[in-house]
């Protein structure tokens, strides 16, 4: 993450001559709708017998499930009729049924629905109010009528395990959560044999040899030690896990339940965590581990899989390649491509004949030649940590100096930014802004020490990492120090408010998108199914009583008097994680000082906008806002 370009072009030319008041060159200005309208198609999946394709496509501005026979574009049939909310996802159940998932206005209470490939028999399989369903095991190739799911139907705080009949809707509880189980895992025969248990600070792996037996504790660790079961070995006797036990970076290991120890390390790296492992269901071999440096990378264990990727990469140069679903024979595969300049496309690939057939592009109306490159960068924090990030400069202005800049800290905060296409970044770059992303301390993927460095550091060292990124770009001559804005969602929205309140001289303006303003009220309103993690949140963020002074110091709402830069706030009324009250508080505090705060609230949205008309409105107003204060 090492690249910055620095050939001088004067700022007066960049801003005064080459841009309009709203930013972006007249000739290269792309309509806002082109960035934020729904994809033309996405999420292709092939049926187990290889005869049908299912995918998501817009119907009345909402993403719905469509199906067609392979190679027969005139056989397209729409299976769902959602007009209020996009289908969140779907998968095949045998060859005759699609299972799809949706919530209600952004409340994140996801229900499971079924519908036949002929469009008949649609049914809500989990029709319970304020209940969230999750799939534990779809029992693919094991049981054509059932799935194993978890729901918080009985107790909103915890998830019990059920066997669900997809034809009748019959539910049978197969494991009741005693109150501290946080996850479940089946073996390759669909038997429920592992449970993850937490008291909020300590995490345990519970195990049983057979269904019907009691779960027994295999190992208990503090939550800082990650030991995550991925799946069973093919003989169902041991477990593949991602683990950072006695190491800083998570590695893929084999764990033996009989000895309660790691027996071997399958794959590890010194620079980043490795947390993902894949396998062939048909051949019962491990195929590859995936990890992220500045891009997604793969380490192959299987020559057949490696050969497929090598062939695809030769046929699709310039794009990252991801293998999606396959038929049961594992000869016909869905292939997805993407890059920093393109949402990519879907293909059908036959690994026997090596024939690659296009299925559709996500956004064919966008010209990749007009998109901006996302480049990796690195800079040192003031206390010596290496911070990795990405810099996107406007297309054709890669050598410009003193650009208007938008800083974009990610949400989570225990997540990370990755290289790839993002419509909001391309939109901002097209309007003439440099865009800076950074994986500040606490970002995942860089090991335990880097993650733990964020504990109780909201608004402090975590915020310093963001500020240090701004200072770095100013020192490099890329950013105009007087024209730096900040925009982010969730924790990124908190970082916007913290940046304006705690470093008022750094930013000319900010856009807070479903961000936290008051950590006390955030803790009071966490969703019930997060309750078991409360003690962990207290240790990572701060305790409302024991750390009252700290949380008061770093909650922006108590420092609204220090905010002098213009602020725009965006909120979904049904957000279950960052309640509307978080945005109401900061808006009210600023209005009491006579400051007008543009405030967008949508009653049919939750933690982030999904409906395209709401996204259009949000980014249109953001364009006006940044244009007014940064150009």
**Residues taking part in catalysis:** 490, 575, 607
The C-alpha atoms of residue 409 and residue 412 are separated, in whole angstroms, by 10
Which pair of structure tokens corresponds to residue 200? 């909020």
Half-sphere exposure of 406 (CA within 13 A, CB side): 31
The string of DSSP codes covering 282-325 is: TTTEEEEEEEESSSEEEEES-HHHHHHHHHHHHHSTTSEEEEEE
Which pair of structure tokens corresponds to residue 386? 């290496």
The string of DSSP codes covering 110-145 is: -EEEEEETTS---EESS--TT--EEEEE--TTT-SS
The string of DSSP codes covering 565-625 is: S-EEEEEETT-SSS-HHHHHHHHHHHHTTT----EEEETT-BSB--SHHHHHHHHHHHHHH
Which pair of structure tokens corresponds to residue 295? 């891009």
Contacts of 394 by beta carbon, 8 Å cutoff, 6+ apart: 24, 372, 400, 403, 429, 430, 432, 433, 434
The C-alpha atoms of residue 78 and residue 19 are separated, in whole angstroms, by 44
E strand residue ranges, 339-414: 345-350, 355-361, 374-380, 386-392, 403-407
The C-alpha atoms of residue 356 and residue 314 are separated, in whole angstroms, by 11
Which pair of structure tokens corresponds to residue 48? 């187990």
Inter-residue contact 392 to 372 (CB < 8 Å)? yes
Inter-residue contact 146 to 163 (CB < 8 Å)? yes
The string of DSSP codes covering 517-570 is: S-HHHHHHT--GGGGGGHHHHHHHT--TTTTHHHHHHH-GGGGGGG--S-EEEE
Neighbours of 328 (CB within 10 A): 16
Inter-residue contact 495 to 463 (CB < 8 Å)? yes
Map residue 281 onto helix, strand or coil. Answer: coil
Q: How does DSSP classify residue 75?
A: G
CA distances from 57 to 31, 247, 414, 435 (A): 21, 45, 32, 30
Neighbours of 604 (CB within 10 A): 17
């Amino acid at each position: 993450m090492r690249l910055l370009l620095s050939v001088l072009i004067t700022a007066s030319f960049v801003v005064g001559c080459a841009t309009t008041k709203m930013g972006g060159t007249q000739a290269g200005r792309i309509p806002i709708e082109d960035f934020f309208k729904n994809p033309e198609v996405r999420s292709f999946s092939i049926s187990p017998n290889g005869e049908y394709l299912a995918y998501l496509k817009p119907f009345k501005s909402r993403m719905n499930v469509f199906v067609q026979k392979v190679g027969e574009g005139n056989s397209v049939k729409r299976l769902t009729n959602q007009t209020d909310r996009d289908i969140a996802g779907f998968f095949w159940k045998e060859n005759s049924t699609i299972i799809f998932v949706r919530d209600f206005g952004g409340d994140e209470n996801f229900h499971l629905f079924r519908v036949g490939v002929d469009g008949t028999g649609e049914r809500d399989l989990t029709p319970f109010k304020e209940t969230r369903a999750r799939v534990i095991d779809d029992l693919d190739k094991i049981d054509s009528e059932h799935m194993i799911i978890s729901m918080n139907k009985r107790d909103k705080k915890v998830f019990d395990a059920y066997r669900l009949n997809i034809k009748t809707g019959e539910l049978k509880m197969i494991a009741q959560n005693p109150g501290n189980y946080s996850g479940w895992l089946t073996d390759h025969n669909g038997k429920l044999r592992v449970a993850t248990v937490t008291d909020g600070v300590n995490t345990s792996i519970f195990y049983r040899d057979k269904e019907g037996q009691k779960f027994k504790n295999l190992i208990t660790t503090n939550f800082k030690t990650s030991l995550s079961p991925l799946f069973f070995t093919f003989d169902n006797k041991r477990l593949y896990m991602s683990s950072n036990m006695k190491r800083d970076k998570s590695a893929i290991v084999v764990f033996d339940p009989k000895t309660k120890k790691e027996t071997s390390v399958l794959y590890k790296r010194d620079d980043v965590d490795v947390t993902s492992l894949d396998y062939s269901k048909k051949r019962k071999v491990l195929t590859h581990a995936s990890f992220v440096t500045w891009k997604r990378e793969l380490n192959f264990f299987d020559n057949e899989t490696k050969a497929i990727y090598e062939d695809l990469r030769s046929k699709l140069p310039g794009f990252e390649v991801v293998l999606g679903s396959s038929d049961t024979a594992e000869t016909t595969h869905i292939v997805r491509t993407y890059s920093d300049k393109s949402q990519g496309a879907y293909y059908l690939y036959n690994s026997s004949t090596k024939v690659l057939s296009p299925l559709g592009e996500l956004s064919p109306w966008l010209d990749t030649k007009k998109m901006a490159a996302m480049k990796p960068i690195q800079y040192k924090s003031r206390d010596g940590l290496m911070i990795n990030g990405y810099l996107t400069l406007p297309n054709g202005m890669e050598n410009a100096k003193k650009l208007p800049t938008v800083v974009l800290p990610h949400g989570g905060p225990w997540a990370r930014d990755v290289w790839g296409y993002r419509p909001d970044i391309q939109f901002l770059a097209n309007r003439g802004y440099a865009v800076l992303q950074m994986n500040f301390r606490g970002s995942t993927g860089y090991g335990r020490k880097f993650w733990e460095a964020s504990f109780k550091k909201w608004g402090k060292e975590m915020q310093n990492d963001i500020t240090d990124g701004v200072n770095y770009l100013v020192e490099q001559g890329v950013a105009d120090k007087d024209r730096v804005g900040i925009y982010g969602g969730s924790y990124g929205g908190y970082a916007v408010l913290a940046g304006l309140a705690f470093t008022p001289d750094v930013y000319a303006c900010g856009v807070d998108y479903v961000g936290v303003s008051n950590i006390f009220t955030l803790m009071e309103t966490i969703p019930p199914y997060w309750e078991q993690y409360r003690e962990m949140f207290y240790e990572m963020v701060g305790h409302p009583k024991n750390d009252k002074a700290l949380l008061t110091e770093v909650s922006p709402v108590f420092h609204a008097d220090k905010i002098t830069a213009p602020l725009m706030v965006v909120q979904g009324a049904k957000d279950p994680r960052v309640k509307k009250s978080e945005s109401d508080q900061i808006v009210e505090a600023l209005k009491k000082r006579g400051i007008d705060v543009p405030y967008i609230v949508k009653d049919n949205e939750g933690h982030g906008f999904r409906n395209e008309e709401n996204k259009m409105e949000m980014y249109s107003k953001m364009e006006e806002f940044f244009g007014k204060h940064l150009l």
